[in-house]
């Protein structure tokens, strides 16, 4: 058997949407992108959504829009994908790495307090694996210090924490549609906000600073219009080429329809893993998963003999990973690193196990049996 770690779940529905975009012969920034944004607004309940070509771009823009003075500091968890912290570097800001909560692995609120100083301008909580950061505690803490809040929601999509959608607790929420995420557009991302001012700026910044939809402009070329200035636009802000295109949005529209069902399937799989793991000594679930309540992009365990177990699973055709090597250990971040003692040690016990919407019960049981065989050999 060959069990994949992550796998996008795509099929005829996505192909049909791409076909329609081809027939319209509009595949750049166009009507699909607008429709996808409108559907995402409905799905999350946010006032406004802006589609971009990755969550990395979203995180870059989310900090850029505030125009912080160069050299100011941004609080980011050490346990995250590089993009959370490179967003600070892209903006000539300094990342300040914060350790993980030992239980949830989210940004540790006590270390956050220790690391904060008056040069900090923003905090970027990551809902690691999909498990919520206690935003009801983090938000008032950050507001009291005048910090902007950018939520990295790359591992969640559609989960509600204490009555409010994750992504809407801070100033801007950033979602990822990279192929390993809860839903995909190949590559893509979405920014959500309830602040109309931020929305207008971000929308211009994702399209080279042009505050105008070019497919609407194109339509005005041919409508009866006595104004010869239909082509005119102004560039008032420094923008980037970060827009989503209509092919990606075509896939996104089909994926969004399937997202609730895909999330339910992921939850079932996690419940099956959790039930199976209860009888196994020597391994524990990575964090206190609540699959009936939240959406999880990753599932994993903590194991004492991590590397041996990984090699054993590999020999059975089971793909595994480790998410992540803490950023405070990465060479790029050395000037700001080596200051998160808990996670810099604990991540050595992490194994990410296969999780995707098409994973079968038989595959999950096969993974569990593989772990069980290892545990028995180890205990014997
Ligand atoms: C995947 C990921 C990103 C970046 O998303 P892209 O869409 O691939 O740019 C950012 N943060 C986290 C936590 C991620 O897992």
What is the reported pLDDT for 234?
Answer: 87
Distance 326 CA to ligand 1 centre (A): 15
Residue in this structure with the two tokens 């000037």, named with its chain if needed: 335
The pLDDT confidence band at residue 15, using thresholds 50, 70 and 90, is: very high
Is a pLDDT exceeding 70 seen at residue 380?
no
pLDDT value at residue 102: 98
| 282 band by pLDDT with thresholds 50, 70 and 90 | confident
Instruction: Identify whether the C-beta of residue 50 lies closer than 8 Å to the C-beta of residue 240.
Output: no
pLDDT on residue 293:
98
**Residue 319 pLDDT:** 98
Within a 13 Å sphere around the CA of 285, how many CA atoms are in the beta-carbon half? 21
Closest atom of ligand 1 to 188 CA is 7
**For position 42, what pLDDT does the model report?**
98
Among the listed residues 72, 148, 181, 203, the single catalytic one is 181
Q: Which atom of ligand 1 is nearest to the CA of 189?
A: 7
Measured distance CA(335)–CA(259) in Å, rounded: 40
Tell me the CA–centroid distance for residue 54 and ligand 1, in Å.
8
- Band of residue 281 on the pLDDT scale cut at 50, 70, 90: confident
What digits encode the pLDDT tens for the residues 335-377? 999 999 999 999 999 999 999 999 999 999 999 999 999 998 8
Closest atom of ligand 1 to CA, residue 57:
9
Asked if the model's pLDDT at residue 228 lies above 80, the reply is yes
Please tell me the distance from the alpha carbon of residue 231 to that of residue 347, in angstroms, as a whole number: 54
- What spacing in Å lies between the alpha carbon of 112 and ligand 1's midpoint? 22
Better-scored residue on pLDDT, 211 or 201: 201
Q: What is the pLDDT of residue 254?
A: 98
Neighbour count for residue 270 (Cβ, 10 Å): 24
Provide the mean pLDDT of the chain. Answer: 96
For residue 125, the model assigns a pLDDT of 98
Q: Is the CB of residue 182 less than 8 Å from the CB of residue 262?
A: yes
Mutate to test the pocket of ligand 1, among 60, 87, 154 (most ligand atoms within 8 A of CB): 154
Distance from the CA of 16 to the center of ligand 1, in angstroms?
27
Ligand 1 pocket test: pick from 8, 152, 296 the residue with the most ligand atoms within 8 Å of its Cβ. 152
Place of tokens 């992504």: 167
Task: Determine which residue's CA is closest to atom 8 belonging to ligand 1.
Answer: 178
**In the predicted structure, residue 30 carries a pLDDT above the cut 80:** yes
- Among 195, 215, 188, smallest CA distance to 66 is for 195
- Residue 121: CA count within 13 A, CB half-sphere: 18
pLDDT digits (tens, 9 = 90+) for 293-334: 999 999 999 999 999 999 999 999 999 999 999 999 999 999
Name the residue with the closest Cα to ligand 1, atom 10: 83
- Site residues for ligand 1, CB cut-off 6 Å: 54-56, 80-81, 83-84, 126, 152, 154-155, 176, 178, 189
Q: What pLDDT is stored for residue 131 in this prediction?
A: 98
Q: What is the pLDDT of residue 379?
A: 65
Per residue in 83-136, pLDDT tens? 999 999 999 999 999 999 999 999 999 999 999 999 999 999 999 999 999 999
Whole-number Å distance, alpha carbon 78 to ligand 1 midpoint, is 14
Decide if pLDDT at 31 tops 60. yes
Would you state the pLDDT for residue 219? 72
Q: Is the dihedral of CA 136, 137, 141, 142 positive or negative?
A: negative
Q: Is the pLDDT assigned to residue 6 strictly greater than 90? A: yes
Mean pLDDT along residues 60-76? 98
- Give the least confident one: 79-88, 179-188, 217-226, 287-296: 217-226
pLDDT digits (tens, 9 = 90+) for 132-168: 999 999 999 999 999 999 999 999 999 999 999 999 9
Query: Is 162 part of the annotated catalytic residue set?
Result: no
CA dihedral 16, 158, 65, 150 (to 10 degrees): -150
Give the tokens for residue 144.
């009291």
User: Where residue 251 falls among pLDDT bands split at 50, 70, 90?
Assistant: very high
């Amino acid at each position: 058997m060959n069990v994949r770690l992550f796998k996008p779940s795509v099929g005829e529905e996505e192909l049909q949407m791409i076909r329609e975009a081809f027939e319209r012969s509009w595949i750049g920034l166009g009507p699909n992108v607008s429709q996808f944004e409108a559907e995402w607004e409905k799905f999350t309940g946010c006032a406004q959504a802006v589609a971009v070509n990755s969550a990395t771009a979203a995180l870059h823009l989310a900090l850029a829009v505030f125009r912080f003075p160069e050299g100011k500091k941004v609080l980011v968890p050490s346990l995250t994908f590089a993009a959370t912290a490179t967003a600070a570097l892209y903006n000539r800001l300094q990342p300040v790495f914060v350790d993980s909560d030992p239980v949830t692995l989210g940004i540790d609120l006590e270390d956050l307090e220790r690391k904060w100083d008056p040069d900090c301008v923003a905090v970027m909580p990551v809902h690691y694996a999909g498990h919520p950061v206690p935003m009801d505690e983090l938000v008032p803490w950050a507001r009291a210090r005048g910090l902007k809040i950018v939520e990295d929601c790359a591992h969640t999509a559609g989960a509600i924490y204490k009555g409010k959608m994750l992504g809407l607790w801070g100033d801007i929420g950033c979602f990822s549609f990279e192929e390993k995420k809860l839903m995909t557009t190949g590559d893509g991302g979405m920014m959500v906000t309830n602040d109309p001012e931020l929305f207008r700026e971000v929308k211009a910044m994702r399209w080279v600073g042009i505050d105008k939809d070019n497919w609407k402009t194109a339509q005005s070329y041919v409508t009866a219009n006595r104004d010869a200035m239909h082509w005119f636009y102004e560039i008032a802000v420094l923008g980037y080429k970060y827009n989503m295109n209509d092919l990606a949005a075509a896939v996104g529209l089909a994926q969004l329809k399937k997202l609730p069902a895909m999330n339910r399937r992921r939850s079932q799989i996690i419940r099956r893993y959790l039930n199976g793991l209860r009888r196994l000594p020597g391994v524990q679930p990575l964090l206190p998963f609540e699959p009936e309540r939240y959406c999880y992009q990753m599932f994993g365990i903590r194991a004492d003999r991590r590397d041996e177990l990984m090699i054993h699973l590999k020999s059975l055709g089971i793909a595994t990973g480790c998410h992540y090597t803490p950023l405070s250990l990465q060479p790029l971040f050395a000037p700001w690193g080596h200051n998160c003692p808990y996670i810099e040690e604990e991540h050595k016990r992490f194994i990410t196990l296969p999780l995707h919407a098409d994973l079968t019960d038989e595959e999950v049981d096969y993974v569990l049996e593989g772990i069980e065989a290892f545990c028995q050999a180890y205990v014997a």
